[in-house]
Amino acid sequence: MTHQTERRSPWSQAEDDYLSELIGDYPPELLYAHFRRWARNRGLPLRSNRAIRSRVYQHHRGSLVPIGIYVRAIDLSQQLRRNLDTVTDWIKAGQVPSRYVTRSTVGFCLRREGVRHLARHFPHLFVNVPADELFLLLEDEDLVQQVLTANQHNHGFRVPLICLTTGRRFPSIQAAAAAYHVDAANLARATRSSEPATVCDLQWKRAA
């Protein structure tokens, strides 16, 4: 099958229709790859990244920021009221399976199922997200209820802590556990009293 040259080939309606389906769901690199694979299978021009990007911005008035199938780490950090570095550390530590993670020019992107995985296994990380925002983020009503219920049970975890080893202060046990990849339940048990306690080679104490 012979492919047309991009330079002399105007965009077809079929190309524009398929590009519209991709916009908003995929980070740039995946969008480019999906589009070219689709075009190759149909003998259509193999557009360059630059050509596809220009078409998205100029013709479709769209954006290459994923808001559908994928969620950017920076957007997730804002929704969770966390620092971007903290969310990036979770990803690098494998708290989100690598099959759900893509690295692109807009930073780490997580498949929506990867965010759901995080919510199932670490519901305390979502304690600062209002219920309505949580539903938009997870798109799973049953999981939202599980997260809300788990965090109601963990209300006592909202105790300010200080890591004596590093000097960092945290507004809650959840925040401290997330920052250092420490089990929140173990940290809560160890810091029940006002005396310093050691968890994962770090010294902790309830903040005054």
d(CA 122, CA 113): 14
Weakly modelled stretches of the chain, pLDDT under 50: 1, 5
pLDDT score, position 8 = 67
pLDDT at 150: 80
For residue 31, count CB atoms less than 10 angstroms from its CB and return exposed for 0-12, middle for 13-18, buried for 19 or more: buried
DSSP state letters, 126-149: GTTS-HHHHHHHH--HHHHHHHHH
Question: 98: which 2 tokens?
Answer: 């690598």
Q: Is 96 helix (H, G, I), strand (E, B) or coil?
A: coil
Q: Global pTM?
A: 0.59
Q: Domain-by-domain residue ranges, the chain? A: 13-59, 70-153, 157-206
pLDDT, one tens digit per residue, over 162-172 is: 999 999 988 88
Q: What's the pLDDT score for residue 44? A: 95
The pLDDT score that the predictor gives to residue 6 is: 52
Residues 124 and 50: their CA atoms lie apart, in Å, by: 41
Spatial separation of the C-alpha atoms in residues 32 and 179, rounded to whole Å: 35
